Chain A
Amino acid sequence: MSNFASFKSLSRALFLGFRRDRGALFFTILFPLLFLVIFGGVFGKQSTGKVEVVEIGAVPVLDQAVAHDASGDLRKTVKLSRNDDRAAALKKVGKGDADAAVEQSGGKIVVHYSGADQVKSGVVQAVVQQVANSANLAATGRPPTYTVDGQRVEDKSIKGINFFTPSLLGWALASAGMFGASQTLVLWRTKGLLRRLRLAPVPIPTVFGARVVVSLGIALFQLAVFLLVAQLPFFGLKLQNAWWMSIPLVICGVLTFLSLGMLVGAWAKTQETAQTVTQLIVLPMAFLGGSFFPLDYAPKWMQVLSYVFPLRYLNEGMLNVMARGLGPTSALPQMAILLGIAVVAGGIAARLFRWDAT
């Protein structure tokens, strides 16, 4: 008989089992996407909202500046409203409903701001200062000696969707791989399916190979879904040149997490134990491995601790090729480390492996 036929049919059976498992579908595909939508949508666009400024009575300097704002820059930054009641206007600022209140009497302009949001209060003061300066300059009737021309530089720090797409995907892969492997192994053992398979003439590597191939297929599907969704205009991910290196990276990562899952599954006696232990590994790993926030901003001890978690290497490799725009070889060290962990964990799992529940 052909082992390949057995392999194909086993893979098919396992895939059908996965596709019909609504819970697994939700947790492997939809749940991480939900996170991507939330994280990418909320933190993805780091643009600050407009600064809300209340005019107390008439503030001609501001009104004129807005009226002569040819480039529209001012209107993009500031939202003006008017309230003739001074006390009410100040109260608004105090409560945070407005960022500043401005009043003008003759040549004197007073800005009332709250210290709650330093960025916005800074913006308000700078804007008003600039408006006043322009008005002063215009009053002299002389052309400006110095002009400023702002030019934007490409931002190399990784934030927003460029960070969340690879790192949330890393978490999704770790979760799917570890839960999938540990649950399958314990379930097959407790239900007696392992013994049944042992009594069939199919080589055992064929059985496990089929399981691995199905997991890899699911992982590549996760990758595709993530990349497609993140590239929607709403999220605006731009793929870097070496993004295709994420495919071998994902494969290495899945092998690692399957091995770790097998390790848990080989050790745990019941499904409940396997589930709890897997969760206890995956969740801290996702946080400390840099899936939910960039490690660059984390405290030093956290950065050091992160080297313990395999997920860190997957995330790092993915960030290198997908977000930092580094070359294809930049992911090779991470891939080597992941494969190394996979081999060690797989070896221990094989030592702990039991056919029977008893």
Chain B
Amino acid sequence: MTNTISVHGLRKRYGDVQAVDGVSFEVAEGEFFGILGPNGAGKTTTLEIVEGLREADEGEVELLGLKPWPRNSRLLPRIGVQLQATSFFERLTAREQLRTFGSLYGVSARKADEMLETVGLTEKADERVEKLSGGQAQRLSIACALVHDPELVFLDEPTAALDPQARRNLWDVLRAINTEGRTIVLTTHYMDEAEVLCDRVAIMDRGQILRLGPPAALVRGLDAPTRVSVASGVLAAEDARRLPGVDEVTDDGVSLIVETRDPSSVVAALSAKDALDGVQIRGATLEDVFLELTGREYRA
């Protein structure tokens, strides 16, 4: 089976900055693939080279068996790219916008209107794009990327600057698109988003891929402790330290927090002491993996 995307040894330099430094990955047909990384990690440049917006200094890219650079008009109808939510024609309504983009791909007005329904914007069809909320504009820009029914879809931080409701609503839309059999590549810096949506993620920093794999496998590979917390006062900290499998115990006056790599034994022991008041168990997340790999210090 051929991969939908195959990238080998990609490099791109801007002046003194090595923006992309030897990136290789493959994406299979129907996969939901995420590229994570802090700002300036090189994920946008990588995506732009893959989409065919920039030429790589070095390396090979193939999409659906075709090279995206130079501009390849046989490839373009088969891929859909969502850019920022502002990439619209001025002063057109949502419907006109989508029909115009559709016409660039030879898509009928009727099909364009159907896409409006897919992203749940039928009620806003006659609203000008400038009047749409952030979430609505984002959904419209995704609709513009999907209007020609592409096999491969690129989404660049689709949920940036959206409120929690709008994000979850958009996730549903994205999942539905993926279920239809389309391959999706997404960049984000929301770890929860990548964890929920992506089959596999690549964590990038300083132009390189640091880890690549399914989110759950990356989290397990981290070997980070699980934190079990109960209400403060149900158990003394000294008693907690003596429980089996406990690494560390802290009590901040609100919660007693037990770090462990054997959460099942700890919970069983707490249960035996009838000390499960307000229990919460929190495992490591992709965010922990991310911070472990890219460091915790703030980078502007």
Contacts and interface: CB of A to CB of B under 8 A. Distances in A.
A13 interface: yes
Nearest to B76: A201
A196 B96 CA distance: 16
Interface stretch (A3-11, A71-79, A229-237, A246-254): A3-11
Interface stretch (B26-34, B82-90, B285-293): B82-90
Interface in B76-121: 76-77, 79, 81, 83-84, 86-92, 96-97, 99-101, 103-106
Nearest to A190: B86
Contacts of A198: 53, 71
B52 interface: yes
Given A21-B91, A193-B88, A193-B89, A201 B104 contact: yes
Contacts of A193: 87-89
B85 to A, nearest CB: 9
B73 interface: yes
Contact of B73 (A10, A21, A201, A356): A201
Interface in B102-156: 103-106, 128, 144
Interface in A106-138: none
A236 B92 CA distance: 40
Contacts of B77: 1, 201
Contact of B101 (A8, A200, A355): A200
B99 A196 contact: no
A132 to B, nearest CB: 72
B148 to A, nearest CB: 9
A201 B89 contact: no
Interface in A185-213: 187, 191-193, 195-203
Interface residues of B, number: 29
A193 B101 CA distance: 11
A145 B90 CA distance: 79
A333 interface: no
A202 B91 contact: no
B39 to A, nearest CB: 14
Nearest to B102: A9
A196 B91 contact: no
A14 B103 CA distance: 14
Nearest to B154: A199
Contact of B100 (A2, A9, A20, A192): A9
A17 interface: yes
Contacts of B81: 196, 199
Interface string A28-48: 000000000000000000000
B91 A17 contact: yes
Secondary structure at the A interface, as helix, strand, loop or mixed, is helix
A195 B53 contact: yes
Given A13-B100, A16-B96, A196-B81, A5 B106 contact: yes
Contacts of B103: 5-6, 8-10
Contacts of B92: 13, 16-17
A20 B129 CA distance: 13
Contact of B106 (A2, A13, A20, A195): A2
A8 B104 CA distance: 10
Contacts of B73: 201, 203
B53 A13 contact: no
A199 B100 contact: no
A13 B89 contact: yes
Given A14-B89, A198-B53, A201-B77, A192 B104 contact: no
Contacts of B89: 13-14, 17, 193
B51 interface: yes
Nearest to B14: A358
Given A192-B84, A195-B53, A200-B76, A6 B104 contact: yes
Nearest to A204: B71
A75 to B, nearest CB: 59
Contacts of B104: 6, 9-10, 197, 200-202
Given A6-B104, A14-B89, A191 B53 contact: no
B80 to A, nearest CB: 9
Nearest to B89: A13
Contact of B86 (A13, A14, A192): A192
Contacts of A1: 77, 105-106
12 contacts: A5-B106, A6-B106, A9-B103, A10-B104, A191-B88, A193-B87, A196-B87, A198-B53, A199-B76, A201-B105, A355-B53, A356-B53
Closest 6 CB pairs of A and B: A1-B106, A9-B103, A192-B87, A201-B76, A200-B104, A20-B91
Given A1-B77, A10-B103, A199-B79, 19 more contacts: A1-B105, A2-B106, A8-B103, A10-B104, A13-B89, A13-B92, A13-B96, A13-B100, A16-B96, A17-B89, A17-B90, A20-B91, A20-B128, A196-B144, A199-B51, A199-B52, A200-B76, A200-B101, A203-B73
